[in-house]
Amino acid sequence: MSQIIRRPALNEQSQWQRLWEGYLQFYQAKNFSPELTDLLWSRIHDLQHPIQCFVSEDITRNQLSGLVHFFPHTNTWKAGQVCYLEDLYVDSTYRGNGVGRALIQAVINYAKEQSWEYVYWHTQHDNHNARELYDRLTGGTDGFVTYRISF
């Protein structure tokens, strides 16, 4: 299997959306509107918007196999920008083949090129397969717990 990591082309919305819908299903996001999906796709391609995307492509099948969404932002602890890796998804047929690692590494490499301070992300506590990869990449969690108030 030969994979490349790159930005998605405008004409690949249906392939990207297949992955995005798989991600939403994995996290049981049942009420995610099609309008919000379309908005995300347009933001990915808007050079003035901070949300960015890389996809992995299985070049032997000419098929997208994974995606990662990320964006830079300022914070109170660093002078420069930091990068939040918000969404990472690999199609189930490609898991365990290094696609997730390659997508994360692409974000890390890009963040370094942009002189961002660091890359961070979070996942559900019971996402054991992903956490195993994340622990190998980072050496473990940073000890912080996430809290959220939804409106």
pLDDT for 6 equals 99
Residues contacting residue 86 through CB under 8 Å, at least 6 positions apart? 51, 69, 70, 71, 121
Topology classification of domain 3-138: Aminopeptidase (3.40.630)
pLDDT in the model for residue 136: 94
Asked whether the predicted pLDDT for residue 146 surpasses 90, the reply is no
For 57, other C-beta atoms within 10 Å of its C-beta total 20
Read off the tokens for 119: 């890359």
Segment 34-55 mean pLDDT? 98
Q: Indicate if the pLDDT at residue 111 is higher than 80.
A: yes
Domain ranges of the chain: 3-138
